[in-house]
């Protein structure tokens, strides 16, 4: 009887494992199908508006986004908006960490971070400049030292943002109108190098209706930079 019970239990465990594996395969197949359909929708959207859709393109801005993964661009769409060449891309990188328990057993977990990256081509090159949100450590430094690092001299701007530049002359390229746009929340964080101006945010490309709200503020930054305002 015990042997029969062991046989039944063993068979039951085998069936459960087989069902679990089959379920995982079904989920993977469904996920891949949904991903293909999602990218097809973007391909059709790009074609509708005369934009180009490219899978895994080679780009020149991955060293300016989190993870700095050269192979991290899933797909990108390029077109023209307000007379400027623009690009919208989906980018991701995977971060892995390993933990070891008291028994010496190691476990590795991975997490994929996804971003939407927008870029605008400027009409003439700029030096390396960036306006980034002021972090907690920077704010703590202000509390300790009484001044912000990378301060511009505009209190409202300096509370929220850091202007990163190599020299005072380059900092002067960010004019009062652009500073005001950041203070009012009309301008996103951005960086420029040469003629490529970019911004990025967390998430994936899901809704075509978000393309213009993402690009329009960056185009406005491009206009103000070139005008020196």
27-73 pLDDT, tens digit per residue, is 454 556 777 888 899 999 999 999 999 999 999 999 999 999 999 99
Contact assessment for residue 70 and residue 204, using Cβ atoms and an 8 Å cutoff: no
Other Cβ atoms closer than 10 A to 187 = 21
Statement: residue 11 has pLDDT above 90: no
What b-and-e string marks burial along 195-219, b requiring 16 or more CB atoms within 10 Å of the CB? ebbbbbeeeebeebeebeebbebbb
Contact assessment for residue 55 and residue 65, using Cβ atoms and an 8 Å cutoff: no
Q: What pLDDT, on the 0 to 100 scale, is given for residue 143? A: 42
Q: What pLDDT, on the 0 to 100 scale, is given for residue 37? A: 87
Q: What pLDDT, on the 0 to 100 scale, is given for residue 45? A: 94
Q: What pLDDT, on the 0 to 100 scale, is given for residue 29? A: 47
Q: What pLDDT, on the 0 to 100 scale, is given for residue 15? A: 56
Contact assessment for residue 225 and residue 198, using Cβ atoms and an 8 Å cutoff: no
pTM here is 0.79
Query: DSSP letter at 210?
Result: G
Statement: residue 192 has pLDDT above 90: yes
Contact assessment for residue 204 and residue 90, using Cβ atoms and an 8 Å cutoff: yes
Contact assessment for residue 148 and residue 142, using Cβ atoms and an 8 Å cutoff: yes
Q: What pLDDT, on the 0 to 100 scale, is given for residue 4? A: 60
157-191 pLDDT, tens digit per residue, is 998 999 999 888 898 999 999 999 999 999 999 99
User: For residues 78 and 94, what is the distance between their CA atoms, to the nearest angstrom?
Assistant: 25
Spatial CA neighbour of 199 closest among 122, 126, 127, 115: 115
Section 90-119 average pLDDT:
86
- The chain-wide mean pLDDT, for the chain, equals 84
Q: What pLDDT, on the 0 to 100 scale, is given for residue 6? A: 57
More confident residue, 169 or 200: 200
Q: What pLDDT, on the 0 to 100 scale, is given for residue 142? A: 53
Q: What pLDDT, on the 0 to 100 scale, is given for residue 31? A: 52
Distances (CA, A) of 183 to 62, 94, 154, 194, 218: 27, 33, 9, 25, 15
Q: What pLDDT, on the 0 to 100 scale, is given for residue 152? A: 81
More confident residue, 15 or 60: 60
Q: What pLDDT, on the 0 to 100 scale, is given for residue 176? A: 94
User: For residues 227 and 225, what is the distance between their CA atoms, to the nearest angstrom?
Assistant: 5
């Amino acid at each position: 009887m015990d042997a029969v019970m062991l046989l039944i239990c063993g068979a039951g465990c085998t069936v459960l494992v087989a069902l679990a594996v089959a379920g995982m395969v079904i989920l993977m197949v469904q996920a891949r199908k949904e991903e293909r359909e999602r990218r097809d929708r973007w391909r059709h959207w790009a074609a509708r508006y005369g934009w180009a859709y490219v899978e895994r393109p080679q780009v020149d801005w991955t060293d300016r986004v989190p993870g700095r993964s050269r192979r991290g661009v899933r797909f990108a769409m390029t077109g023209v908006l307000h007379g400027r060449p623009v690009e919208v891309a989906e980018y991701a990188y995977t971060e892995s960490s390993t933990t070891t328990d008291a028994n010496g057993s190691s476990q590795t977990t991975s997490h994929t971070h996804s971003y939407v990256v927008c870029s605008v081509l400027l009409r003439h090159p700029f030096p390396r400049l960036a306006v980034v949100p002021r972090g907690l450590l920077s704010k703590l430094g202000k509390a300790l030292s009484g001044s912000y690092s990378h301060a511009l001299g505009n209190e409202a701007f300096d509370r929220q943002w850091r202007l990163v530049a190599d020299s005072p002359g380059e900092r002067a390229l960010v004019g009062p109108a652009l500073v005001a746009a950041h203070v009012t929340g009309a301008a996103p964080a951005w960086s420029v190098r040469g003629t490529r101006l970019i911004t990025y945010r967390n998430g994936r490309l899901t809704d075509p209706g978000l393309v213009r709200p993402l690009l329009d503020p960056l185009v406005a930054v491009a206009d103000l930079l070139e005008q020196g305002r």
